[in-house]
Amino acid sequence: MTRRPHGAYLPDPSAESTAPLPAPEITEAECRRCGTLIAGLDGRYACGVCGWVNDHSEGHRRLPRADEDPDRPAAGRRRPRRLPAAPPPEAGPEAARGAEPEPAPGA
């Protein structure tokens, strides 16, 4: 077994996540597709007029990892399961007979 020199330890990845992330900065730019003035967070933009979105790698800062997300569910908790879609309403007996015209007022 070969020993590693004392300075050859790998960096601890959890040491980076102990410092809180700085607050995001609101930035503005022109949409590259339609020219509308748009605002974004840290250089990441999405245009509400034409739907253009810049690539996430164009941002000014790195994106936080999942373990750095303050809204992440606690360990052992899952997101709530989505309920199945409601079935379409069934037609009642009126629909089976067909639509009956209503009598005109005063008739």
Which pLDDT does position 21 carry in this prediction?
72
Closest CA to 21 of 71, 60, 70: 70
Coil, strand or helix: which one is 40? strand
Report residues of the chain scoring pLDDT below 50. none
Rounded to whole angstroms, how far apart are CA atoms 46 and 54? 7
Which pLDDT does position 80 carry in this prediction?
75
- Global pTM reads 0.48
